[in-house]
């Protein structure tokens, strides 16, 4: 980052991996919480918990259903 003049970055990915990167580079890496649209209440509980917002300092939220490992189709393909 220094070589290219980047002072800080917003990082997204596995929430725990992002938290680890943020701890390793405080003030440089800022976390973006990934929430599953299939379990939005779990995401709300995790965000309310101090771990990701207050503890880790995540600054953004991302909900992307197309990144999930599974997709629920509304039409059955035969």
**Residues in a beta bridge with 32:** 12, 60
pTM of this prediction exceeds 0.75: no
pLDDT tens column, 25-75 = 999 999 998 887 778 788 788 777 667 877 888 888 888 776 555 555 555
In the block, residue with structure tokens 């490992």? 69
CB 10 within 8 A of CB 60: yes
Per residue in 20-30, pLDDT tens? 999 999 999 99
- The answer to whether 20 and 51 are in contact (CB under 8 A) is no
**Residue 38 backbone dihedrals phi, psi, to 5 degrees:** -85, -15
């Amino acid at each position: 980052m220094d070589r290219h003049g980047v002072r800080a970055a917003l990082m997204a990915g596995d929430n725990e991996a992002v938290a680890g990167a943020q701890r390793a580079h405080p003030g440089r890496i800022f976390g973006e919480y990934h929430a599953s649209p299939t379990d939005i209440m779990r995401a709300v509980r995790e965000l309310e918990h101090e771990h990701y917002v207050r503890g880790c300092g995540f600054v953004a939220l991302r909900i992307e259903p197309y990144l999930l490992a599974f997709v629920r189709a509304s039409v059955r393909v035969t």
